């Protein structure tokens, strides 16, 4: 089977991923003072790079967010507003653990250079950097924060 069976709920959830990011980015761009600078940071998933089976609709919804970040960065040229996207790998959250066996969690841990799941602080540090003045020269990029995934 090329794609797992996608339910109406899956389609709704994934369209929320894309539409929600679009609406937030558009609103942020409109509210940030033009010419005064600012930062827009979107979130994706490193599944966009790994292209794992059974995640087709979810991965496509997140790939759209990465494309939006790159395009919006170009559209905001000259405003001092940067737009970037962070693409995290698996992060130890309740949502990640939901429905996963210990065996699967251990397998996921073994698939990156650190042999562990990401922590929310791992992603927060990247967000903090991009949001700071130190991140002003980074624009239109997708930053992959996945512990050096081996897949």
Residues taking part in catalysis: 58
What is the rounded distance in angstroms from the CA atom of residue 30 to the CA atom of residue 10?
Answer: 30
Distance CA 3, CA 68 (A): 24
Contact 144, 46 (CB under 8 A): yes
The string over 94-127, giving b where at least 16 C-beta atoms fall within 10 Å of a residue's C-beta and e elsewhere, is eeeeeeeeeeeeeebeebbeeeebbeeebbeebb
């Amino acid at each position: 089977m090329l794609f797992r069976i996608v339910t109406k709920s899956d389609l709704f959830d994934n369209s929320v991923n894309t539409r929600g990011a679009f609406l937030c980015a558009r609103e942020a761009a409109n509210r940030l003072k033009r010419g005064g600078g600012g930062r827009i940071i979107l979130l994706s998933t490193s599944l966009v790079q790994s292209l794992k089976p059974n995640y087709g609709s979810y991965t496509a919804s997140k790939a759209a967010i990465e494309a939006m970040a790159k395009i919006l960065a170009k559209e905001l040229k000259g405003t001092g507003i940067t737009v970037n996207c962070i693409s995290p790998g698996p992060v130890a959250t309740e949502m990640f653990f939901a429905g996963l066996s210990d065996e699967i969690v251990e397998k996921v841990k073994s698939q990156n250079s650190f042999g562990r799941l990401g922590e929310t602080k791992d992603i927060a540090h990247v967000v903090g950097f991009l949001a700071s003045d130190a991140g002003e020269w980074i624009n239109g990029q997708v930053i992959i924060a996945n512990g050096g995934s081996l897949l």
